[in-house]
Structure 1
């Protein structure tokens, strides 16, 4: 009986062979030599492209129990022309933690496919942000009721610099603390990305409240919270706010707002969270 480790190694063998078989020497800029009895690249050619020995690559493809570094897996991924999903799959089959995806071309494409999703959430608000909280998709009520800025603008920058946000959200202080804590947690996922520090410094310069909260070094990773929204002086609404990560290792997050039952009465103070 094959155990879990054996099945994983067998899957690794089949995966590497299938990725090798789909490529030709022309695909990777090599000169084809000799007669080929099977389609695809030879193991020796993959080894040359990856900068490893032919014996070592053969052992890997055979599923032998050898140690593999991230740099070597990256080199093999490049040699076999793996996309982001295939690269993560290779890491897992090799028993290594997969890398964070950094292919920025995929984010806008995925966000464009999510626009019908957020529009379909109407009349409740919904929007999509990237790792920096830049808005990539939003429905009309997210913009009108929550003040979500237009496509490409930063939600955090809008929340902390737009005076209407402090009027729109009765619990602005609590929301601000959660947002800063979530932003700090998100930044820790990408320790080599200096853009987080640059954005934090910019926010500290333009808004004193953000600067005070940032200096506390508090964290928040709540995926479900309650939000109150002031519609008029005498009317408010409350929502369950859900944050959903989209696709494994994806930077995109879907913000969904689910309406909660309204408290009957004459005033916003009766709308409780």
Structure 2
């Protein structure tokens, strides 16, 4: 198999991401985790290229080309084999698929949907008053509910969630789990960039933020990927203490580039916890 020449600019951007992603994932796997035992001391952490190639059942030269970002054809079977060798979780596997030009493999059907049903019920019942906003592909807020403005100070068209978090100390103080939230935002931004591999704006935003936030630069270099549909978010409010929300992220069919983010009172929350509407109303009255 031979590499082709003169790749388009979009292909170069995509393969640069692929190259960095594979290197960082390989470096995170200890040989002992995959049953490899070595006596000699290693100069670099993680697996070697030839070890990943052997685990995936592909040639060393071919895997080297893949990790170097050469313009080669990669089948879905090879993507799956390398994903297994690198022990990629579902969200990183989907990211890898997109970087190689394939649609992610469908996830196995889950039998127990009780948690999903509870979250959807809470979504339907609380749609009108829970903090809600819609972002563009880069995390820029396009629309926001009044409760989202009261809780987060979000002003549509003038608020980018990623930029605000890493450049505004007051915003970071709202989140007791600062490092976890920061990691999640960067990992989600990575996942979004794979959906639009031809868009250089992701790289420009990352470069701009990296110059202003050493922590962002560090997390961006880790190449972590996540595309969560639901997680828990703790927020510190001056008049209510630390409040726990179920943060739900949904894609909008009519706006394929956008994400809708909702903050709900978690299903099964103790009765002592005030509903989202009461918390937001009280916080708004304090402004």
- The normalised TM-score by structure 1 is 0.50
- Bigger RCO (CA 8 Å, 6+ sep): 2
Pair member with larger Rg: 1
- The normalised TM-score by structure 2 is 0.47
